[in-house]
A and B are shown apart, each in its own frame.
Chain A
Amino acid sequence: MNRLIDCFVQTLAIKREQVTLNLTYQSIPEWDSVGHMALVGEIENTFNVTLDTDDIIGMSDVAKAVEILRKHGVALNAIA
Chain B
Amino acid sequence: MLLPDKVALITGASRGIGKAIAEAFVAHGASVVLVARSESIHPFAESLKQGGGKATAIRGDVNDEATVRECIKQCRSQHGRLDVLVNNAGAMPQAMIGMISMEEARQCFELNVMAMVNLTQYAARMMKAPASIVNLASIASRGVAGMSVYSATKGAVVGFTLAAAKELGPRGIRVNAIAPGFIDTDMTRGLPPEIHQRTIAGIRLGRMGQAREVANAAVFLGSEFSSYINGQVLGVDGGMQA
Interface residues in chain A, defined as those with a beta carbon under 8 Å from any beta carbon in chain B = 34, 37-38, 40-41, 44-45, 48, 50, 53, 56
Contact = CB atoms under 8 A, between A and B. Distances in A.
A12 to B, nearest CB: 13
> Is the contact region of chain A dominated by helix, strand, or loop, or is it mixed?
helix
Contact of B124 (A37, A45, A48, A50): A37
Contacts, number: 30
B174 to A, nearest CB: 15
Contacts of B171: 34, 37-38
Contacts of B77: 48
B187 to A, nearest CB: 30
Interface stretch (B36-44, B68-76, B145-153): B68-76
Residue among B76, B125, B171 with the highest chain A CB neighbour number at 10 A: B125
B126 interface: yes
B170 A44 contact: no
A8 to B, nearest CB: 15
Contacts of B170: 34
B122 interface: yes
Contact of A50 (B80, B118, B122): B122
B167 interface: yes
A37 B128 CA distance: 11
B76 A41 contact: no
B188 interface: no
Interface in B50-105: 69, 72-73, 76-77, 80
